[in-house]
Amino acid sequence: MRRDIVHPGAGHLKYEIRQIVGFARSLSRWNVDIAWENIGDPVKKGESLPGWMKEIVRDAVTDDATYAYTDTEGSRETREFLAARANDRGGCRIGPDDIMFFNGLGDAVAKVFGFLKREARVLGPSPAYSTLSSAEAAHSGYEHLTYRLDPEHGWLPDMADVEMKVRYNDSVAGILLINPNNPTGAVYPECIIREFVRIAKTYRLFLVCDETYASIVYGGANTVALSGAIGEVPGLSLRSVSKEFPWPGARCGWIEAYNKDKDPVFAAYVRSLLDAKRLEVCSTSLPQIVIPRIMGDGRYPAHLARRAAMFGSRADEAAAAFEGIPGVKLVKPEGAFYASAVFSGGLPAEGRLPVSDPSLAAYIEEQVAGLAPDKRFAYWLLASTGICVVPLTGFVSDLPGFRFTLLETDDERRRWIFGSLAEACRTYLASV
């Protein structure tokens, strides 16, 4: 090529959650039956949407309006509905014009980071959901800047680390938090959210809070939405129907922008997100249009409560399976539907798991050469059990470990998955 056409951030576009799939599929030659524990799709894992929700969607399909474009920001009626709901949470008040729809939060994240000034960095958690960290890294062309989530303290953010990184790096213009968290399952208490707000206020930053899992909190955890704690600090909340209805295939998420009126630079930035969306006309209409009908239905609160309780009891099962394994730390999740196990004492460089077929074992030996220790574990785990997890180092983290889900709907299979994961940890650590 006459010119280099590759974006300087291209090398940062990593999504380990799906990258491991290619390797898992290569095991089909040995007829390995894969348990897909890598992807957070409740429907793929066997959850069915309640019949009443499907009826609402079915009715909407007969309505011509669902075949038309919406406003670029999204359906006005839905934005009014969501603004009222946000205001019911208390705290910072918003109107329909503070809400903007996207084709899933994946699309929103691409815009949030893609339209930030290149030199303006957003400090994010480690470990972190890869879409966010990769988008930030790709936008800047550098490694994602991170603060530490601490497995020894319930995966809470190390707030001293946050403040230190903000204080000594004036390119940091914003801080990202994910609450409830993917991949750790942690839920931040109000004091932590308030501490983020204090730091943002002190250093004149904006906050981005991914609240995809806001309605999946259990085990007695308490938290507060960003809007409830943000005061006058500029901020964005990212929300979606993907995990909550759950309807990930709808590709429907939205941003709530707080305190646009408090800072002209922030207001101009939010406007640029809308201008960028305008080039695409709008997001998919049908899922937006059914939001008020579904979320406003009298059965919705019970639906959310039932799911939260369901994930709460699965979190108990996972924690029980991992209890007392020397060298392995699993913090019981209190939100979302993931758990992350950390090999707190590290992993043996030459660890392996039993694989009965010698040709498969030889293939794995060849494939794991030079891999990060937890990726090596994940590959052996796949060959030995068929369970596909995501290595924790795939989530911008240097902690060796892996993330799995609480999504398996078949009770027996789920217990087998948790038990097999725990057993594999023991065996692998003892294998050398």
Ligand X SMILES: Cc1ncc(COP(=O)(O)O)c(C=O)c1O
Q: Closest approach of Cβ 238 to ligand X, in Å? A: 6
Cβ contact 253:239 at 8 Å: yes
* Cβ-closest position to ligand X: 104
Give the total of residues touching ligand X (CB under 6 A): 14
Q: Where are the alpha helices (DSSP H) in 356-409?
A: 358-367, 373-385
Residues 69-128 that bind ligand X (CB under 6 A): 104-106
Cα–Cα distances (Å) from 81 to 64, 236, 237, in that order, read 21, 18, 16
Instruction: Judge whether 176 and 125 are in contact, CB under 8 Å.
Output: yes
**Smallest distance, ligand X to C-beta of residue 123, A:** 16
Binder of ligand X out of 24, 27, 32, 40 (CB under 6 A):
40
**CA angle in degrees (0–180, nearest 5) for 277-283-287:** 155
Under rule CB under 6 A, residue 178 binds ligand X: yes
Q: Which is nearer to ligand X, 27 or 252 (CB)?
A: 252
- We find the least distance from the C-beta atom of residue 110 to ligand X, in angstroms, to be 10
List 240, 259, 283, 384, residue binding ligand X (CB under 6 A): 240
> Residue 91 in contact with residue 256, Cβ under 8 Å?
no
Number of Cβ within a 10 Å radius of residue 367: 18
Interaction of residue 247 with ligand X, rule CB under 6 A:
no
Of the pair 183, 312, the CB lying nearest ligand X is at 183
Distance CA 120, CA 94 (A): 26
CB of 360 to ligand X, least distance (A): 31
**335 near ligand X, judged by CB under 6 A:** no
Closest to ligand X by CB, 221 vs 347, is 221
Kindly tell me which residue out of 174, 219, 248, 386 binds ligand X, with binding defined by CB under 6 A: 248
Q: What does DSSP assign to residue 387?
A: E
Cα–Cα distance for residue pair 214/168, rounded to 1 Å = 32
Which residues, numbered 208-237, are part of the site for ligand X (CB under 6 A)? 210, 212
Residue 129 binds to ligand X (criterion: CB under 6 A): yes
Output the smallest distance, CB 246 to ligand X, in A.
9
Q: Between 9 and 104, name the residue whose CB sits nearer to ligand X.
A: 104
User: Pairing relation of β-strands 390-391 and 387-388?
Assistant: unpaired
Which listed residue (253, 351, 391, 394) binds ligand X by CB under 6 A? 253
Taken as a whole, the chain contains a residue count of 432
Cβ partners under 8 Å of residue 390, min gap 6 = 16, 17, 20, 38, 183, 378, 402, 403, 404
Binding site for ligand X (CB under 6 A): 40, 104-106, 129, 131, 178, 182, 210, 212, 240, 242, 248, 253
